[in-house]
Chains A and B, each alone.
Chain A
């Protein structure tokens, strides 16, 4: 399909698209054809060039070479206005909505007709009503955006695109912020759109979504298109292999846990944010040695505050006991240094803003949080930078960080390798308790496999692990016990072996199905 004339059967046809950023070639001679009225998945690891390709299609970047055909017609897309005119709508990972405008106002914004708003607003109201009926996109047009759930906000983004008469809808990692239920609803909407003849492009790194939703899937790897397959004739294993370029273990291999003594005991833990709003509303749980407790939940339901309270970043009230000893919750002894000294290591959720200093070199980052450690000191006055660099080299070798250059700045590593640096730093401290948030967010499949193995290995050494993740698959495959958080509280504890996605999804949405409370 490399050459040949334009074909009107295809909503989008890209031929020979290349794009370089300096020495980095983000897209190399990409060919892709998306048939009209299908859902087309684009899958690939981080940095494979998916987003660049879609940015070219939406007019954010200009390709260095190559041609774009929309509905069989050669089309130049120098800016996003042209993309919209060509019938392309884009739903970004981070929504571009005005928070204090209503749904209606947001939909009309940028597509107003005439100087007076009243006319376009009443027209939009009618169109929205039609669209909502047609595609199960029920959103109250007069609701203010900031009052809407994330799932509803996303529907507003879709409505915005449809209002601009988009025939081709591109969604970039749409489910990252959704509950399983909301994601299912989204996929129903997308299938409805397809059945009405619209074309949908779904960019994701989640194999399950690809398998459930798409008609065809294109796989990208390191800037090239490695293949397009009919999804129904493929398998997750095949797609993963195409993505990574080698066989990948999708399931985590682990033996049953052999929990020992209680390492961490949390009682009635409460955290207030800077506005005085309680974000953690009195939660209690225990973690034993050799056990992984997974915290499931939609992002923003108190998981971050829990990690911060345990890691000594946020002030808290209640009681935290580590190996039988009370930890101070505010004032002296409630900072990150003291927690590390007590035996708690913390891989934070947001490695780029908390876990690493992006401008620091890898070796400086290996000292981050441990810059007072005796083995990194030359004498009372100076740090031993040589020892640090040597230690970094060792850690890079053990954790297969690429490239293994200690003097490279953290920002120059890929997401997966950045995460490996953080994980190496924290795990190699041999902590009694490891706090680990979103261990594989933005991390390639190959590195995910590696990091998961490290977490399980630490558990098998008899350490306690608190795992927070919004990836339900990750929680279910790694955890020995699952707690579901909603609105600052624990809705219930489940055994990952016996529970199912629906059950967890209900808890995540705040509907306490079964028993509530401690089930340790």
Chain B
């Protein structure tokens, strides 16, 4: 077999699969008696044609960048972290605790503190599956999935019985104080020239982009990244080189969990401004698709996250303005 040149592998293959996916989606839409052209028009219009659409697309993309990067780091250590969803929910808990119980003087400090709390909680949630894999060989896929369910249950308990303010009906925390609210893009100079109305996309976007650079540097420029990648390619060879499997599994999963947890500053702190049940709303799972499509490279992850942000926002618009059910967007993403 002749191998494809690298550029074709990186650019052409995703493009071809995207086109195919779009075509199949069009057929499906046709099959349920709707007009595919109308669908794509609505999607594009609702997500990238005006600043309002962009505001949502970028907001979703921010979340997906974190979870995509989380999957990427674990993947390079040959670990399939499916627990991004649970880690992101725990990250949300960290954010909520930091925002509710510490009186921050300014949002910048609050952001710093909440980010650390989010990463810490996310990492802690990944630590147990990581330890089980490293010491006992329990498969990380199974344990991280289980931990997603445990996370959901833990949060329901905390939101219903512990953190819910008196007199409130829905399972959620109180709203965060003013000082712990993040500026959205329409509140940031220069960006407010484009984003004139209120949008959910917020400063977290820049943290996500920054983390993409950090992950890239970590994996390809540091000793730790070298060890992670070597271990991911061959555990036997890593042992020959004196790279400890235990250390790598733990460290890679902690970083991965931390990144997934950091997603919470986008949705919990930046958007909802309080912790809701099911706060991650599937972004942890979409991170898997984002990482796969982005070829487990930070640049690819950022691009794929934007694409999925577009699908997410465009899909929501579809549900709003056409008879095409919102579940259709899941079909499209699946493709």
Contact = CB atoms under 8 A, between A and B. Distances in A.
Contacts of A294: none
B11 interface: no
A385 interface: yes
A313 B223 CA distance: 20
Interface in A330-348: 335-340, 346, 348
Given A21-B1, A360-B230, A371-B227, A346 B222 contact: no
A353 B234 contact: yes
B223 A356 contact: no
Interface stretch (A210-218, A246-254, A362-370): A362-370
A120 B234 CA distance: 45
A335 B246 CA distance: 12
Interface in A298-339: 311-313, 335-339
Given A371-B227, A382-B222, A357 B242 contact: no
A23 B244 CA distance: 40
Contacts of B234: 353-354, 357
B237 A368 contact: yes
Interface of A: 21-23, 311-313, 335-340, 346, 348, 353-360, 364, 367-369, 371-372, 377, 381-383, 385
Contact of A22 (B2, B240, B243): B2
A22 B3 contact: yes
A186 B273 CA distance: 79
Contacts of A335: 239, 242, 244
A336 B239 contact: yes
Given A336-B241, A369-B241, A359 B233 contact: yes
Contact of B242 (A312, A353, A364): A312
A315 B233 CA distance: 23
Interface of B is mostly: helix
A371 B223 CA distance: 6
Contacts of A336: 239-243
A382 B229 CA distance: 15
Given A367-B226, A368-B230, A383-B226, A338 B242 contact: yes
B242 A369 contact: yes
Given A335-B242, A336-B241, A368-B241, A353 B223 contact: no
A354 B240 contact: yes
Interface in B207-262: 217, 221-223, 226-227, 229-230, 233-234, 236-237, 239-244
Contacts of A385: 221
B237 A22 contact: no
Interface of B: 1-3, 217, 221-223, 226-227, 229-230, 233-234, 236-237, 239-244
Contacts of A22: 1-3
B324 to A, nearest CB: 43
Contacts of A338: 242
A381 B236 CA distance: 26
Nearest to A373: B223
B1 to A, nearest CB: 7
A494 B227 CA distance: 42
Given A22-B2, A354-B236, A383 B221 contact: yes
A223 to B, nearest CB: 17
A382 B230 contact: no
9 A-B pairs with the lowest CB-CB distances in the bound complex, closest first? A336-B242, A337-B242, A22-B2, A369-B241, A354-B240, A335-B242, A357-B233, A382-B221, A371-B226
A313 B240 CA distance: 6
Given A337-B241, A371-B227, 13 more contacts: A21-B1, A336-B241, A336-B243, A353-B237, A354-B236, A355-B240, A360-B230, A364-B226, A368-B237, A371-B223, A383-B222, A383-B223, A383-B226
